[in-house]
């Protein structure tokens, strides 16, 4: 079966707001850049298009109907996955490996700034009978419930999560597309309001707009198109349960999807074999939870490693060198796209001032509150 | 008996109970209602912002692609067939031809409308063929509408216009 490579990547944003562009225009901009990067004409060369979107984020139903125009996909095979960008990558990999397409495109975007009642939209993902009627708090408390259980089970203090924020906000300062980067110390984090105790304000990724488009191709074509194909060597996805009374609170979804992706990629010792990782950090504790779930370090060693800079830009295993969602912003279903984009740029050697030395990278995204679902993709040079 | 029921060898169907309207009113059937407060503010963007501004001024604006030569209405910033940016803006006429229509008697909640609504797709004069604008027809008897009928926009007064597709009240038959 053929290998599959990323041969083009384009993006638009990422900004806290994009009042000048409609989501279609944002998507067009990302698509044009991706096709330019890959050297393909979507009208002639691309065989299949996969977009990733959730209707309630968009504000209209049957999103897939709105896709073709701005992606160059009119009168072409197109479908939408109601999930993160990394699920789209998994679908494109399957389409290409099965021989249905030589070249496939994956898109995801966020126009979060168009949503006026963000908390209410999240609440719409709650079981209507069980969960929606409980209390009036903004649903970020769902993340706080998970953090509380997780940090207690692991015996972590808040210093670990505060350090993660400090690291990611600092990393973002080298990324011109990270609107929420800044000089924030762990003390600043610990002093910020505990708006959803035990989650503090600075531990929460703010929303952002942006679009990401990847062009994927089978091996033979990938080698013709580019000197730096980035191989999608493994993909995985997993769902745990929608019930907060039975889920693990240790990101079992990330552990299982990573195991699936690692197996496909032939990775047996991720802590040694992975050089760079972009994991979902839309709440600071999620990064720690995901580092553990992706087996990038042992749970009892994580606090010391975080403190010692092991996951920093100059560390042994840089995590969220892009600045992560804490710096770039919460891109909704495009979150995994931003993570995959960073891994691809790092492996290509195109990450500019934040370049690290890497041959193999992993990108991971969670489907956000209130889910215990997510996907992982392993990329290699 | 339900269709297909008799030939299935599976555990017996749960025997249901006939439900009457009163049972629902009296709360004998269990429901849980939720009325979400979900609101958005859609960024109109480059193309549609200018289009809406045009409506406020009583104009229908379109964009042109020099590659395929199409005049696209409503306007967009890129040609979806050539996949390239558009080249220029132009004005099209507020007259057109009915491409298809429906005489609709029921509202979205399945309640009868007092007057039927005649919804139509109108090819706008000056735009490329099949560049349609879905809108409503007025000042016409439903029996008199036909595909190919020439129509003209009836605008709200300048002070009433707000930059919305409803700045055109409806399209009426073009006499002569």
Q: pLDDT tens digit string along A129-156?
A: 888 888 889 999 999 999 999 999 999 9
For chain B, the average pLDDT equals: 91
Q: Which CATH superfamily is domain A4-116+208-230 in?
A: Thiolase/Chalcone synthase (3.40.47.10)
- Return the minimum-mean-pLDDT range out of A8-22, A98-112, A291-305, B1-15: B1-15
Helix, strand, coil in percent for chain A, rounding step 5: 40, 20, 40
Q: How many Å apart are CA B66 and CA B49, to the nearest integer?
A: 22
Q: How many Å apart are CA A268 and CA A263, to the nearest integer?
A: 7
Task: Check if B44 contacts A (Cβ < 8 Å).
Answer: yes
- Return the minimum-mean-pLDDT range out of A56-70, A174-188, A335-349, B24-38: B24-38
**Which B positions 22-41 lie with beta carbon below 8 A of chain A?**
32, 34, 36-41
Residue of A40, A21, A213 whose CA lies nearest to B83: A40
Residue B12's pLDDT is 62
**pLDDT tens digit sequence for A111-122:** 999 999 999 999
Residue B176's pLDDT is 55
Same fold, A4-116+208-230 and A118-207+234-380: yes
Contact B80 A72 (CB under 8 A): yes
**pLDDT tens digit sequence for B131-157:** 889 999 999 999 999 999 999 999 999
Residue B2's pLDDT is 54
For chain A, the average pLDDT equals: 96
Average pLDDT over residues A325-346: 98
- Domain residues of chain B, as ranges? 45-173
State how far residue B71 is from chain A, nearest Cα, in angstroms. Answer: 16
Residue B1's pLDDT is 46
For residues B31 and A227, the model is more confident at: A227
**pLDDT tens digit sequence for A81-133:** 999 999 999 999 999 999 999 999 999 999 999 999 999 999 989 888 888 88
Least CB-CB distance to A22: which of B34, B38, B48? B48
- The pLDDT confidence band at residue B8, using thresholds 50, 70 and 90, is low
Contact B38 A132 (CB under 8 A): no
User: CB within 8 A of A127, min separation 6: which ones?
Assistant: A242
- Domain residues of chain A, as ranges? 4-116+208-230, 118-207+234-380
Residue of B78, B40, B157, B74 whose CA lies nearest to A60: B40
Instruction: Tell me the β-bridge partners of A363.
Output: A278, A377
- The pLDDT confidence band at residue B58, using thresholds 50, 70 and 90, is very high
ipTM for the assembly: 0.90
State how far residue B84 is from chain A, nearest Cα, in angstroms. Answer: 8
**Annotation: CATH topology of A118-207+234-380:** Peroxisomal Thiolase; Chain A, domain 1 (3.40.47)
């Amino acid at each position: 079966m053929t290998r599959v490579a990323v041969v083009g990547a384009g993006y638009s944003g990422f900004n806290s707001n994009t009042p000048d562009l409609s989501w279609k225009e944002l998507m067009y901009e990302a698509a044009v850049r991706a096709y330019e990067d890959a050297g393909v004409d979507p009208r002639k060369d691309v065989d299949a298009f996969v977009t990733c979107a959730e209707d309630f984020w968009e504000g209209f139903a049957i999103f897939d109907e709105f896709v073709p125009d701005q992606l160059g996909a009119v009168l072409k095979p197109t479908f939408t996955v109601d999930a993160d960008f990394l699920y789209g990558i998994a679908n494109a990999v399957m389409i290409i490996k099965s021989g249905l397409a030589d070249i496939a495109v994956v898109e995801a975007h966020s126009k979060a700034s168009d949503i006026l009642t963000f908390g209410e939209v999240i609440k719409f993902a709650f079981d209507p009978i069980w969960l929606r009627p409980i209390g009036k708090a903004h649903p970020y408390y769902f993340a706080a419930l998970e953090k509380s259980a997780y940090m207690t089970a692991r015996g972590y203090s808040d210093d670990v999560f505060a350090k993660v924020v400090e690291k990611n906000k600092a990393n973002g300062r080298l990324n011109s597309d990270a609107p929420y980067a800044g000089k924030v110390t762990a003390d600043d984090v610990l002093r910020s309001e505990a708006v959803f105790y035990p989650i503090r304000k600075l531990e929460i990724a703010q929303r952002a707009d942006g679009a990401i488009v990847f062009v994927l191709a089978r091996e033979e074509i990938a080698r013709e198109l580019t000197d730096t194909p980035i191989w999608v060597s493994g993909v995985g996805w997993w769902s745990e349960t929608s019930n907060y009374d039975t889920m693990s609170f240790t990101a079992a979804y990330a552990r299982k999807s990573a195991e699936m992706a690692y197996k496909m990629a032939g990775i047996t010792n991720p802590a040694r074999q992975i050089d760079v990782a972009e994991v979902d950090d839309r709440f600071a504790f999620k990064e720690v939870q995901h580092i553990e779930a992706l087996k990038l370090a042992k749970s009892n060693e994580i606090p010391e490693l975080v403190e010692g800079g092991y996951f920093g830009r100059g560390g042994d295993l840089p995590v969220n060198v892009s600045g992560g969602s804490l710096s770039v912003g919460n891109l909704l279903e495009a979150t995994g796209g931003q993570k995959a984009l960073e891994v691809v740029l790092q492996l290509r050697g195109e990450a500019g001032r934040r370049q690290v030395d890497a041959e193999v990278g992993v990108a991971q995204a969670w489907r956000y509150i209130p889910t215990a679902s997510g996907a992982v993709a392993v990329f290699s040079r | 008996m339900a269709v297909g029921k008799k030939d299935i060898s599976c555990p017996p169907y749960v025997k249901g109970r006939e439900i009457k309207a009163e049972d629902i009113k009296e709360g004998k059937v269990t429901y849980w209602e939720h009325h979400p407060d979900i609101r958005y503010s859609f960024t109109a963007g480059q193309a549609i912002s200018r289009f809406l501004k045009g409506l406020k001024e009583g104009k229908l604006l379109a964009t042109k692609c020099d590659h395929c030569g199409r005049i696209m209405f409503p306007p967009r910033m890129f040609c979806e067939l050539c996949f390239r940016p558009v080249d220029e803006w132009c004005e099209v006429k507020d007259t057109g031809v009915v491409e298809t229509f429906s005489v609709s008697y029921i509202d979205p909640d399945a309640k009868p409308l007092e007057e039927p609504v005649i919804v139509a797709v109108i090819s706008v004069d000056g735009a490329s063929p099949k560049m349609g604008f879905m809108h409503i027809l007025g000042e016409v008897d439903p029996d008199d509408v036909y595909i190919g009928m020439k129509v003209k926009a009836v605008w709200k007064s300048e002070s009433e216009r707000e930059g919305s597709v409803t700045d055109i009240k409806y399209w009426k038959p073009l006499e002569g």
